[in-house]
Amino acid sequence: MKLYGKQIVHPWLCDSMGHLTTRHYMALFDDASYHLLSESSGWQPNDSAGPWRGKGWADVSQNLQYLAEMHSGSLVEIYGQLLRVGNKSVTFALEMREKFTGNTAATFESTAVYFDLVERKATPLCAAMRDKMSACLANQ
């Protein structure tokens, strides 16, 4: 797994019980997913004139498992890897770890489709993207 995010659990990200609240687990994983998808495919989210113009990703399936509490002040690292590359979609896994202990706090698996933002529908990955992503698969 490769590192895709570093964060700190700030007090305002915690709920009334004193631990990182559900909505912010999702935000941390979402941020890391953009880095994973960009680095593994070459996709550039702010490309307004090039080949990525009008293209993005749409999440279609997610599974989040909470394994340990994260409290205010915790330093978090998020690692990830691609699991599957299809014609229009990719499946990837992310793992949130406490920086100093290495303990896994949560795991996240997601499937996202490559998305035409103008047509508002899934679109095939180009051959270059598929090749680059296939080279990043976890089992290689």
129-140 confidence digits (pLDDT tens): 999 999 989 665
81-122 confidence digits (pLDDT tens): 999 999 999 999 999 999 999 999 999 999 999 999 999 999
* Mean pLDDT, rounded, of the chain: 93
CATH domain 2-134 topology? Thiol Ester Dehydrase; Chain A (3.10.129)
The tokens describing 104, both together, are 């896994």
Query: What is the pTM for the complete model shown?
Result: 0.92
In this prediction, residue 138 carries a pLDDT of 66
- List, in order, residues 6 or more apart from 84 with CB less than 8 Å away: 90, 91, 137
Burial of 57 from C-beta contacts in 10 A (0-12 / 13-18 / 19+): buried
Question: Rounded distance, CA 37 to CA 134, Å?
Answer: 12
